[in-house]
A and B are shown apart, each in its own frame.
Chain A
Amino acid sequence: MTILANILVVFFIVAGVLFIVVSAIGLLRLPDLYTRAHAASKSATLGVMCILLGVFFHFWLNEDHFKPTILLGVLFLFITGPVGGHIMSRSSYIAGVKPWAGTVRDDLKPEIERMKKEQNIK
């Protein structure tokens, strides 16, 4: 039973560390604010969720401490991580940070122009 629990814990922690490393490489190498926010929000959130699930299973199966605080933290990170990345990239677009030159499609630009036109009419 201990070997099965250790296999589960090691699997979750290896997956989480891989996702954290991928998000760090993405933040280091990607050319643009928006691609960097994409890398930081999604893959870092998935990595921390995997690591916290590994910690939860370790304390539950090996040490017999059932700690629902960790599950609450996983739920909170799952909700707030992508929301934080989204609101950060939206506010920086409104503040005027230009996208990368290789960007193919920009869906927010006509929406921002329509909002500016409506505010001028009012």
Chain B
Amino acid sequence: MTYFLWAAVIIIVLSIVALVYRLVKGPFPSDRVVALDAIGVALICLVGLFSMLIDTSFFLDIILLLAILSFIGTIAFSKFIEKGDIITRDNSR
């Protein structure tokens, strides 16, 4: 079971390397934000697998924290890319 979990961790780390390539190279800022969102999702997977490896359940609260931070970051970046500022005061839309 331990070797299987280490193999899963190594495969996910390699996919994070591919996502970091897209994060550095992406031609638009939107590409970078999409890559950051996917990196957050892969980090959540890594937290779950490491908590299985070390046999503690204390790390599992970090999953919710990372999910909420990644979602709020994506929403804030999309508002910024769409309008140029994050908090808008007009009620037209």
Question: Could you list which residues of chain A lie within 8 angstroms of chain B, going by C-beta atoms?
Answer: 6, 10, 13-14, 16-17, 20-21, 23-25, 27-28, 33, 36-37, 40-41, 44-45, 47-48, 51-52, 54-55, 58-59, 63, 65, 67, 69-70, 72-73, 76-77, 80-81, 83-85, 87-92, 94-95, 97, 119
Q: Do B81 and A95 touch across chains, with their CB atoms under 8 A apart? A: yes
Instruction: Count A/B pairs, Cβ under 8 Å.
Output: 148
Q: Do A20 and B15 touch across chains, with their CB atoms under 8 A apart? A: yes
Bound form: Cα–Cα A80–B72 in Å: 10
Bound form: Cα–Cα A110–B49 in Å: 46
Bound form: Cα–Cα A51–B22 in Å: 23
Q: Do A91 and B57 touch across chains, with their CB atoms under 8 A apart? A: no
Q: Do A27 and B68 touch across chains, with their CB atoms under 8 A apart? A: no
Main SS class of interface, A: helix
Give the residues in chain B near A23, CB-CB below 8 Å: 15, 38
Q: Could you say which of B18, B48, B79 has the most chain A C-beta atoms within 10 Å of its C-beta? A: B48
Bound form: Cα–Cα A40–B71 in Å: 13
Question: Could you list which residues of chain B lie within 8 angstroms of chain A, going by C-beta atoms?
Answer: 1, 4-5, 8, 11-12, 14-16, 18-19, 21-22, 28, 30-31, 33-35, 37-38, 41-42, 44-45, 48-49, 51-52, 55, 57, 60-61, 63-64, 67-68, 70-71, 74-75, 77-79, 81-82, 92
Closest 5 CB pairs of A and B: A24-B15, A91-B82, A92-B30, A91-B78, A55-B48
Give the residues in chain A near B78, CB-CB below 8 Å: 84, 87-88, 90-92
Q: Which residue of A lies closest to B27 (CB)?
A: A33
Q: Do A24 and B38 touch across chains, with their CB atoms under 8 A apart? A: yes
